[in-house]
Amino acid sequence: MAKTNSTRQAKQSSLRGILDRLLDRLYPRLDWFFLLRPVVLIPVWTTTAAGLGVGHWLSQSSLLWHAAWNWGIFLLFIGIALITGAAFIRVQLQAGGETEIKGYPSVLEKGSVSPAKARRLSWIGLVLGLVLVMPGGWLAVLAGATLFLIWGLIYGTCYFLWKGRPAVETIIHALAGVALFCLGWAASGAPLEGSLNLAAPYVLAFASVGALTAITPGPRYPADKPRPSTNTITISLAIATIMVVVATVWGYRNGDPVIS
């Protein structure tokens, strides 16, 4: 009986050792994945899908419900993911400077990704992302480049300078929302006439989420920058709530079955 238990324990120890070695090899690869900020893709893809659906609704008088696989749409969303990831790599790099990363995430400081590798990955992601959105036409490429300009260069360069300023962050994320909606709209092939009116509710909804970033500092906020005050939190929540209400009313006014 004792021998059986000893054999079982030896097998469990061996399996645990194999699993630990596999995880040790997997974790550094995950550093590259999380560097792209995949959680941001939830509102990003939602806003793009809204532009795609509303554009199709305007041009075809019906909502876009794809039951079949569509490579064009798949590549569009992958391209947007790469552009967004490239932009937020820039944000993470600028959070602590180009040579020494003191901000977040820790993957750049303690992980397997150096700042130099992260910069290369950012530019590769941008170029590849723009190539993948090309089937959407010149408007899609222009919107993709604008998205990187807004998030990766403007917002990324002034990240901590604007942190805690809800009005400024709301404007920045609203502009990013316009770019994302235009990416979906361009892929739908709809005419540009009437696009701003239909896009406005979605942009407001997207910006309301972005406004909340003003009250979410990183885990190691710079000592020379004050943390969000109670007034900042109150203002951010008020702005977000107002924009959601306006977006809903605007959607009803447009007769949009999705946003309303």
pLDDT digits (tens, 9 = 90+) for 231-259: 667 777 888 888 889 988 888 888 776 66
Confidence of residue 128 (pLDDT cuts 50, 70, 90): very high
Residue 84 has pLDDT above 80, yes or no: yes
**pLDDT average, residue stretch 40-59:** 83
Domain 40-254: which CATH number of 3.30.70, 1.10.600, 1.10.287, 1.10.3470: 1.10.600
Could you tell me the CA-to-CA distances from 84 to 43, 145, 211 in Å, in that order? 11, 10, 18
Radius of gyration of the chain (CA): 22
Q: Is the peptide bond before 191 cis (omega within 30 degrees of 0)?
A: no
Cis before 105 (ω within 30): yes
Highest mean pLDDT: which range of 83-92, 108-117, 137-146: 137-146
Asked whether the beta carbons of 152 and 88 are under 8 A apart, the reply is yes
- pLDDT exceeds 90 at position 83: yes
**Closest of 215, 219, 224 to residue 103, by C-alpha:** 219
Amino acid found at 233: I
